[in-house]
Structure 1
Amino acid sequence: MSTENGTIGSQGEVNGDVMLTHFRKKDDDDANGEVETEETQVYIENYKDKLLIYGINDSPPIHVTIICALQQGLLSLSGQLIVSLLVAEAVCASKNDAFKARLLSSTLFMSGITTFCMNIFGIRLPLFQGAASEYVIPLLLMADTDQTFCTSEPSKEGGQSPVPATTTMSPNFTNSSLGNYTNNDEITMDRIIYNVQMIQGSLVLAGFVHALLGFTGLIGVMLRFVGPLTIVPTLTLIFIFIVGPVIKFVEVNWGIAFSTIAVAVILFLYLAKYNMPVPVWTPSLGFRIIRYPLHQVFAILISIVLNWLLCGVLTYAGLLTDDKKNIGYNARTDARIQIVRDNPWLTFPYPGQFGPFGFSGAAFISCMIATLISVLDSIGDYYACARVCRVPAPPKHAVNRGIMIEGLCSMLSGAVGCGHATSTYGGNIGAIGVTKVASRHVFIATGVIYILFGIFGKFSALFISIPYPVLGGAIVVMFGIFFGVVISNLEVTNMSSPRNIAIFGLSIFIGLAVPTWAKKHKSPVQTGHAMFDKIMSMLVGNPNLVGTIIACFLDNTVPGTAEERGIAAWQVSEEDERADVDRTEFNEGYEVYDPLIPRSIMYSKLMKYIPFLPYKRGNVEKELGNVKTS
């Protein structure tokens, strides 16, 4: 409550996101107004009634920031591992452990770089940028349709020549460092490196196109035609096909996986209305007990640690199989301990570490398909994150900036040789809904942690040794929450409309049916032109592409109002940005999207012509004066 002499807080009143608030009361008895008496009132905030404990611009205590960042990092670790292993499969290196370790270090390093850049320079929502699974599907389809992709040597015919390791790889990264490895199918290191180089050049070019979409503002134009009825089916199809890789983790031991899920669900759902007593000590107030939703903030991390310990106990007691051929072996805590021993202490990924870039037309088309899906995925994630963080929908300049940063980092990821681009991870958005911690500082710290993971090989290998069913259970919780967030985007559409129901149902069903049919035929498209047939077979086998095309076509050709389609709710005008937001609906306003540039520059008329930066109309002196006064 407010008084004439100052501000006084009372117990149960929410004045900020801290547990202890100091109140200062001014006495105006002195003529000069120089006499002040300070009162300190201590109270415990009612966290259970808050939809968010820490908002985007809030700075949690350093220990909370580090632990939350570690939790977010652990949740995403399995995703990095899965995508990295699938890229190794696509370039025919599934049996080369040394190469897979190097590829994983590069993936972790680039995920850290991209996450840091997105939160500092990009859209500035609390987002984790990791290895994009969208790029793996077309790469695997390309390998399937090209019968010579995994032959022992690249063919010399048609202008393609083998790539000698002695002349193509960096001097610091040779066959000897990877192991001059040949698997049972005679796949040499030369062939693996050749495949990586073909993807590198194609991915760099696709990343450039990706960045260009944001730099030129074409994404803002795209938002006129792409709304919830296009993006929700796209993300839904991704979820459906993510089930397969997740099952590979969960089926190792269903009991441990369900235990991981159960612990997390109990902590953040069933116990959501309770605050845990936590002992704290400060020099000014000494030792005391406060109530804080610790179990909810760290629900997933607590579940991972407890079930990791459970696996350790079961391993020590001999209750888990020691047969390496048995699927249950990966539930043991020592199943992948060799990774820790073999990984080097230090490694530093850099552009060109696999040699000069190559180019493949099929690989470029694959990457461009993935880029389209990735852009739609990211746009949907931006709006979903804004909804979870209780901030207004992102304006066009913020979306443009986010896509531009993603594209630039995808170029760098391709140059480093990761074999994939980087994209927004929806599961971490779901984790925000669980923990109620939406601070940008947490994700900046997560980016730094991932950079260290990529550099310190043995440190990252320790987390990779987490038992598979524990990772699988955490992924189920994480993606389950985010799937609910994705579906909630349909709230802004009129789902009682037969039009919208038909578009959503048809796009999902056709997106599943066509690729399922394509998988049953070795060559689903046969026109007599081998290259065209190969490319078209790859396109019709991609569920995300098929579903997206159907949804976008129907949504833009079947008559319907902007409000009915939900596009109106995603469009932010300049007037909306200048207006005061409804604080009963939003915790923070459009200021969370402002880039790190001097505020006075935003009032320059030059900003009207830069689509990825905000332009604020009005008199700069007047506006800045009002800001200082307020």
Structure 2
Amino acid sequence: MELTGHENETKGNNKADGEINEGFDVNGEVISELSHKDKAHVKGQSERGRRRVSYASDTDTNPPKDNDTPDFDVIAEDDSKTSEELFMYTVSETPPIYMILLIGFQHALLSLSGSLAVVLIASDVICAEDDAEFISQMLSSTLLVNGLSTILMVTIGARLPLYQGAYGGYIIPLLALMQIDPNRCTIQRPTGLHNSSIGLNATVSSIPFNEEQAKKDLILSYFKEIQGCLMIVGAVHFLVGATGLVGVLLRYVGPITIVPSILLLGIYVAEPVMNFVVPNWGMSILTCAIGFILAFYLAKWKMPIPLWTRTKGFHIIRYPFHQIYAILIAIIISWLISFIITEAGGFTDNPKDKGYQARTDARLDSIKNAKWFFFPYPGQYGTPTFSSTVFVGFIIATFISILDSIGDYYACAATCRVPPPPSYAVNRGIAVEGFCTILSGLLGCPQATTTYGANIGAIGITRVSSRSAFVVVGIIYIIFGVIGKIAAVFITIPYPVLGGALIIMMGMFNGVVLSNLVSVDLTSSRNLVIMGVSLLMGLLVPLWVKTYPDDISTGNAEADFILKGLLGNPNFSGAILACFLDNTVPGTLEERGITAWQQQGTDESGATIDYVEGVELYETWLPRALKEWKGLEYIPFMPTPKKRKRSLSGQWARRKSIIAGVSDVIV
């Protein structure tokens, strides 16, 4: 795929067999005309939903060569459309195998650091930061479930090219518990038992104490609570989608509720991020600087990349490789520099010093101890348990995840130039996410999955929106999860290197959250006061619980602990207050940003959008007889025999994803 060039002088001419007839628009982007042999590119699209295309030749009938670079691209007859809106392959098409593999690896690597960061933060809040073997197992389970969830979402769920990754929102309730109980990771040594013999000569012996085993038991006790609560909230998540309650939820929750809630999440993770940075601020700043330069300072520069194809031979293309993989490149470079400094003796070799975590060999034993193959299964850590405090925190995270995923569905549809997903497709996608949350609890993940917005942006860059590519992404992650040595390699990355990456990711995350206010009237004192008070209370109440925990005293220790856990959760305090005020303080729908959500199927100017595919891409692969069954009308996640007239909020299609946990902001 050529990305730069000069004025096209051969546009409209017939091309020789197997030869690319390239043209360039005013923006310097390549446009390759579509020959007769490539008309299958739009096969299966409805006439109503298919975008108008022109063909370079109706006489070229030679079959394409498998190893050739795709020699076609769609040329829109509408001059207002630019080449940036065109796709080499649309959602329902299958590219050649070599292209599927390349695009699949790109999307897989793009989101890898996000899942790694979420797991490492989770290990800290369950007191497992020093247990490399357990962290490796959690990461393997997370990668495996990421792969399974992505495949299920693409084939059964929303049926859009969406990647499902680890969601950091479920870590916030656990961070709140750490704030109200600073000693939760302290092992209580049992008092010695005195075995005395009668007489003057008394003997005293203490019970043998295995501190390592006690630590493992403590980790497992917290982890099994997470497993049990994940499965329960996953069932709730599934029912919200399967019963069609998503539409009811959207009537009462708008951007004024969403922004304070998720912004608090981004602010509240500052402390765990600091734990990764403090071993060596220099390496963290270096990692941050490299990623920032590649992603933003060089955003308009496209890297020259040598390429060889059968039709053109050796040639140079320009592609923003450095921008797509900015975080990954920054991690690799800083990892290499850390290795050099470690070998030169620049970092301390004292394991008790915080600077020891900057060494590349600090957790090298985890690779040696890890199994080559790891197959997680239900019950491998014992019977899951339940914690009311963790459960309520997870419920809040679940509803935020639902709203964010809906936004990503519409954003993906807009990026792929397909109709907004109808309500049944959204319901089915939410139901699949709920099922995958149950799967996360069963297979030993410390968090659930959600849709990642970063991969949606990558679709626009690669110009390949095929679902098949994301099936490959799922398979790659399953392989990563099953091979235990791979996960072990990832957790050996020095903490300061990860800390620098997290600074960029969480900083950009907070900025993306604020961008969701584009549809809100920011000149309204009503909106400003609601969001400001909600943010302040979301920070103030948890700080009060942490500083004065004894102020909450109901006479029941269990009730006190539950209240402290709820009030110590910034999402609980901020989201509940924001939702209450937004729905009770008088204000118009337009003022609150709700009206913009209800505009669907149009672009910013109000003109009708011409799609490359029709709404039929959201239908499942059921037999025709079953699709025509009238009973489907009563199943919220299935299309009715007649066309639905309404779908959920269309504004979601224009906004960016506002959360992806830690990995949703990877550039």
SS of the residue 1:290 aligns to = strand
Q: CA offset at residue 552 of structure 1?
A: 0.7
The answer to whether residue 11 in structure 2 is matched with residue 11 in structure 1 is no
What is aligned with 2:491?
Answer: 464
Q: 1:330 to 1:120 in 2, by over 3 A?
A: farther
Letter in structure 2 aligned against 1:302: I
1:496 aligns with 2:523: yes
Q: Does 1:65 align with 2:89?
A: no
What does the per-residue CA deviation read over 1:280-301, in whole Å, with 9 as the maximum and x for residues that have no partner?
Answer: 2222232222333333333333
Contact 1:427 1:481 (8 Å CA) reproduced: no
Instruction: Tell me, in whole angstroms, the C-alpha distance in 2 between the residues paired with 1:286 and 1:5.
Output: 21
Q: Are 1:277 and 2:295 an aligned pair?
A: no
How far does the alpha carbon of each residue in 1:134-185 deviate from its partner, in whole angstroms, 9 at most, with x for none? 33333454577689977979x9xxxxxxxxxxxxxxxxxxxxxxxx99427x
Q: Which residue pairs with 2:576 in the alignment?
A: 549
Q: Does 1:323 align with 2:342?
A: no
Q: Deviations over 1:247-284 (max 9, x none)?
A: 32233333333333333333333333333332222222
Distance in 2 separating the partners of 1:115 and 1:226: 27
* TM-score, normalised by the number of residues in structure 2: 0.74
Cα deviation, residue 476, structure 1 = 3.0
Task: Please say if residues 100 and 468 of structure 2, whose CA atoms lie closer than 8 Å, have aligned partners that are also in contact.
Answer: no
- Taking a change above 3 Å as real, the CA distance of residues 104 and 275 of structure 1, as seen in their structure-2 partners, is closer
Q: Secondary structure at the match of 2:376?
A: coil
Task: Give 1:22-421 correspondences, 5 Å limit.
Answer: 23=35, 36=59, 50=84, 57=91, 61-62=99-100, 64-86=102-124, 88-89=126-127, 93=128, 95-139=130-174, 141-142=176-177, 182-183=210-211, 187=214, 189-190=216-217, 192-379=219-406, 381-382=408-409, 394-421=421-448
CA distance in 2, matches of 1:122, 1:550: 32
Amino acid at match of 1:231: I
Which amino acid letter does the alignment assign opposite residue 183 of structure 1?
E
2:505 to 449, 460, 478: 478
- Aligned partners of 1:150 and 1:254: how far apart in 2? 26
- Cα distance, 1:613 vs. partner? 3.0
Deviation at 1:400, TM superposition (A): 2.1
Distance 1:425 1:521, change over 3 A: farther
Give 1:35 shift.
9.4
Counterpart residue identity of residue 216, structure 1: T
Q: Distance in 2 between matches of 1:375 and 1:42?
A: 40
Letter in 2 for 1:12: F
Asked if the contact 2:305–2:316 (Cα under 8 Å) also holds between the matched residues in 1, the reply is: yes
Q: CA RMSD in A?
A: 4.5
Deviations 1:332-391 (A, max 9, x none): 322221111111111100111123344444454444344344434544555666677777
**Could you tell me which residue of structure 2 aligns to residue 537 of structure 1?**
564
Residue 170 of structure 1 corresponds to none
SS state at 1:461 partner: helix
Distance 2:481 2:314 in 1: 40
Q: CA deviation at 1:543?
A: 0.2
For the residue of structure 2 that corresponds to 1:347, the secondary structure is coil
2:621 pairs with 1:597 = yes
Aligned partners of 2:241, 2:104: CA distance in 1, in Å? 32
* 1:97 to 1:506, Cα distance in 2 relative to 1, 3 A: same
Cα contact 1:129–1:425 (8 A) shared by 2: yes
Residues 553 and 320 of structure 1, relative CA distance in 2, 3 Å threshold: same
CA distance in 2, matches of 1:147, 1:329: 24
Structure 1 stretch displaced more, 256-265 or 502-511: 256-265
2-structure distance, mates of 1:369, 1:79: 21
CA apart distance, 1:480: 3.4
Compute the displacement of 1:405 (Å): 1.4
Residues of 2 paired with 1:192 and 1:95: CA distance? 11
Amino acid paired to 2:126: A
Tell me how far apart the structure 2 counterparts of residues 237 and 509 of structure 1 sit (CA, whole Å).
9
Q: 2:638 aligns with which of 613, 620, 626?
A: 613
User: Structure 2 CA distance, aligned partners of 1:42 and 1:429?
Assistant: 24
- Which structure has the highest helix share of the two? 1
What is the letter of the counterpart of residue 59 of structure 2?
E
Q: Distance in 2 between matches of 1:442 and 1:25?
A: 23
TM-aligned CA distance change 1:470 to 1:200, over 3 Å: closer
Instruction: Measure the CA separation in 2 of the matches of 1:382 and 1:204.
Output: 24
> Partner of 2:316: helix, strand, or coil?
strand
Q: What letter matches 2:24 in structure 1? A: G
Can you list the C-alpha shifts for 1:68-113, whole angstroms capped at 9, x where unaligned?
1342243224324324403532xxx555444443333323322332
Q: Report the alpha carbon displacement of residue 115 of structure 1 after superposing the two structures with TM.
A: 2.9
Q: Which amino acid aligns with 1:107?
A: T
Rate the CA distance shift 1:472–1:523 in 2: closer, same or farther, 3 A.
same
Paired residues of 2:154 and 2:470 also in contact (CA < 8 A):
yes
SS of aligned partner of 2:378: coil
- Determine the structure 1 residue equivalent to 2:196: none
**Do structure 1's residue 517 and structure 2's residue 544 form an aligned pair?**
yes
Alpha-carbon separation, structure 1, partners of 2:83 and 2:495 = 36
Moved more, 296-305 or 12-21: 12-21
Q: Is the 8 A contact 2:164 2:451 kept in 1?
A: yes
Which residue identity lines up with residue 513 of structure 2 in the other structure?
A: V
Distance of 1:358 and 1:397 partners within structure 2? 34
In structure 1, the partner of 2:449 is 422
1:567-622 Cα distance to aligned partner (Å, 9 max, x none)? 2222367xx59x99978979867749714435966676444322223447359xxx
CA contact (8 A) 2:22 2:31 kept: no
Q: What residue in structure 1 maps to residue 593 of structure 2?
A: 566
Moved more, 564-573 or 384-393: 384-393
SS at match of 1:11: strand
Look up the match of 1:161: none
In the aligned structure 1, how far is the partner of 2:156 from the partner of 2:597?
A: 22
Amino acid at match of 1:236: L
Contact 1:111 1:450 in 2 (8 A): yes
Seen in structure 2, the aligned counterparts of structure 1 residues 240 and 591 have a Cα distance that, compared at 3 Å, is farther
Q: Describe the shift of the 1:525–1:270 C-alpha distance in structure 2 as closer, same or farther (beyond 3 A).
A: same
Which residue of structure 2 lines up, in the alignment, with residue 176 of structure 1? none
Cross-structure match for 2:659: none
Contact map agreement 1:121 1:595 (CA 8 A) in 2: no
Contact 1:603 1:616 in 2 (8 A): yes
The change in CA–CA distance for 1:202 and 1:64 in structure 2 (over 3 A counts) is: closer
1:622 corresponds in structure 2 to none
1:427–1:482 Cα contact (<8 Å) kept: no
Contact 1:249 1:469 in 2 (8 A): yes
More deviation, 492-501/130-139? 130-139
Report if the CA contact (8 A) 2:125-2:178 is conserved. no
Aligned partners of 1:406, 1:35: CA distance in 2, in Å?
Answer: 45
Secondary structure, aligned partner of 2:549:
coil
